[in-house]
């Protein structure tokens, strides 16, 4: 009798002739997640088994696997040779000793002498004889003992399903560059796009010395948490202090945020192209703050030359974003009180519906290309 972990995937089975590509990426991501832990990963007819691991590390293995996109459910199971005595002894370990229960059997091995209903009836009867506190309820049992008789002569016996991260394997849908700040929204946006199979790199803009080094460390921590879902990531750190100072010195202060966002998008596109990313991802939510009106977004988008801009949170309200932030484990870090660059020189009344002709008139007061070139020279790459 061996303890194993069953991994079931979700959308991969729909991929037809391309399924092999997705399954290979899926297996690579599982191996990355379990790096440093003793284990063997085996494919078994539409599912994977993690075997030969240290039993003391099972909780760590499960916790890591729960963050791998593409996994629908997990089960910790007992693997035995397929005969009724072995299956019963495993069921005895899985079953509760009191309350209501049922046995549910899936028989993939059609050569096994008993069918699914017969297996369930016999195992259930033996468990009733063993545990006097048990009773059968086939409609709404408090517990279920699952028996999976496989084609390779082994059976898997388990008692529960653990929810996985769902989605598609990271790396199966290209690569994007996430604008990550120290706030709540951007890590959630990155998580949502990674769930659809996109590998994520990050770019962070800072305004040292107006913002302190702790603000930068906070962002690195957020990216590190995100990297647990994305099989690692890279943070490209760019200093924009000089850009903000020039805008503050030469332009109408009400346009500070609008102009800064345009610089960020230009720089992000250059970083994305240099890093092989195929799109830009932001955490903007329509109408949440002054710069996130449709006019503000149009102003930001207008400076992008080639790449699409993805805004996965555009239709979410703040409470929905906060709930997702808590689910993925970034919320507590996001609310730490360190300012990001967008709070530097923040006007009392920022323009909320910028007209593009007015934005261009303000921007004409700046040497845009020189400021971008200077910012690119500050680029620091942090591998996580």
Four-point Cα dihedral 341, 342, 346, 352, nearest 10: 170
Largest CA distance in the chain: 87
Element (H, E) at 19: helix 19-33
DSSP three-state, residue 81 = strand
Phi-psi region of 140 (alpha: psi -120 to 50; beta: other; left: phi over 0): beta
Residue 200 forms beta bridges with which residues?
176
Residue 107 forms beta bridges with which residues?
149
pTM over 0.95: no
Long-range contacts of 355-361 (CB under 8 A, 24+ apart): 355/295, 356/298, 356/299, 356/302, 358/255, 359/255, 359/258, 359/259, 359/262, 359/299
Task: Report the alpha-carbon distance of residue 289 to residue 329 in Å, rounded.
Answer: 24
Which 8-state DSSP code applies to residue 291? G
Nearest to 51 by CA among 7, 96, 8: 7
Per residue of the chain (384 residues), give pLDDT as tens. 899 999 999 877 677 778 889 999 999 999 999 999 999 999 987 789 999 999 999 999 999 999 999 999 999 999 999 999 999 999 999 999 999 999 999 999 999 999 999 999 999 999 999 999 999 999 999 999 999 999 999 999 999 999 999 999 999 999 999 999 989 999 999 999 999 999 999 999 998 887 778 888 999 999 999 999 999 999 999 999 999 999 999 999 899 999 999 999 999 999 999 999 999 999 999 888 777 899 999 999 999 999 999 999 999 999 999 999 999 999 999 998 866 655 566 677 788 899 999 999 999 999 999 999 999 999 999 998
Return the pLDDT at 246: 95
CB proximity list for 371: less than 8 A, separation 6 or greater = 242, 243, 246, 263
Task: Report the alpha-carbon distance of residue 381 to residue 358 in Å, rounded.
Answer: 35
Under 8 Å between Cβ of 98 and 131: yes
Burial degree of 222 (CB within 10 A; 0-12, 13-18, 19+): buried
Burial degree of 227 (CB within 10 A; 0-12, 13-18, 19+): buried
Could you tell me whether strands 154-158 and 47-51 are parallel, antiparallel, or unpaired per DSSP bridges? Answer: unpaired
Return the pLDDT at 47: 87
If you write DSSP's letter for every residue of 140-194 in order, what string do you get?
S-SEEEEEEE-TTSEEEEES--EE---SB-TTSS-EEEEE--SSSHHHHHHHHHH
Domains of the chain: 2-163 (3.30.2130.30), 175-383 (3.40.50.620)
């Amino acid at each position: 009798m061996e303890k194993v972990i069953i991994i079931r995937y979700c959308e991969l089975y729909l991929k037809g002739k391309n399924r092999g590509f997705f399954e290979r990426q899926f297996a690579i991501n599982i191996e990355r997640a379990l790096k440093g832990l003793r284990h063997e990963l085996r494919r078994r007819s539409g599912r994977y088994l993690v075997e030969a691991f240290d039993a003391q590390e099972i909780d760590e293995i499960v916790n890591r696997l729960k963050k791998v996109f593409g996994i629908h459910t997990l089960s910790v199971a007992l693997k035995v040779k397929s005969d009724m005595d072995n299956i019963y002894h495993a069921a005895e370990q899985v079953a509760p000793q009191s309350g209501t229960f049922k046995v549910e059997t899936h028989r993939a091995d059609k050569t096994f002498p008993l069918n699914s209903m017969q297996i369930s009836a016999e195992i259930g009867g033996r468990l009733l004889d063993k545990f006097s506190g048990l009773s059968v309820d086939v409609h709404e049992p408090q517990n279920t003992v699952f028996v999976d008789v496989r084609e390779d002569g082994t059976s898997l016996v388990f008692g529960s399903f653990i929810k996985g991260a769902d989605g598609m394997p990271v790396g199966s849908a290209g690569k994007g560059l996430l604008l990550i700040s120290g706030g709540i929204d951007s890590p959630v946006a990155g998580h949502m796009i990674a769930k659809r199979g996109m590998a994520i790199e990050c770019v962070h803009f800072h305004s040292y010395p107006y913002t302190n080094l702790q603000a930068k460390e906070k962002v690195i921590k957020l990216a590190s948490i995100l990297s647990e879902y994305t099989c690692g990531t890279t943070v490209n750190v760019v200093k924009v202090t000089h850009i903000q100072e020039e805008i503050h010195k030469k332009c109408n202060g009400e346009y500070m945020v609008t102009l800064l966002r345009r610089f960020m998008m230009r720089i992000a596109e250059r970083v994305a192209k240099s890093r092989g990313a195929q799109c830009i991802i932001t955490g903007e939510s329509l109408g949440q703050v002054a710069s996130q009106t449709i006019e503000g977004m149009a102003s930001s988008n207008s400076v992008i030359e080639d790449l699409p801009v993805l805004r996965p949170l555009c239709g979410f309200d703040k409470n929905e974003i906060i709930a997702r932030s808590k689910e993925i484990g970034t919320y507590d870090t996001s609310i730490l009180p360190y300012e990001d660059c967008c709070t530097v020189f923040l006007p009392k009344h920022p323009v909320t519906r910028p007209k593009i002709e007015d934005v261009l008139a303000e921007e004409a007061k700046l040497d845009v290309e020189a400021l971008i070139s200077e910012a690119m020279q500050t680029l620091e790459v942090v591998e996580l």
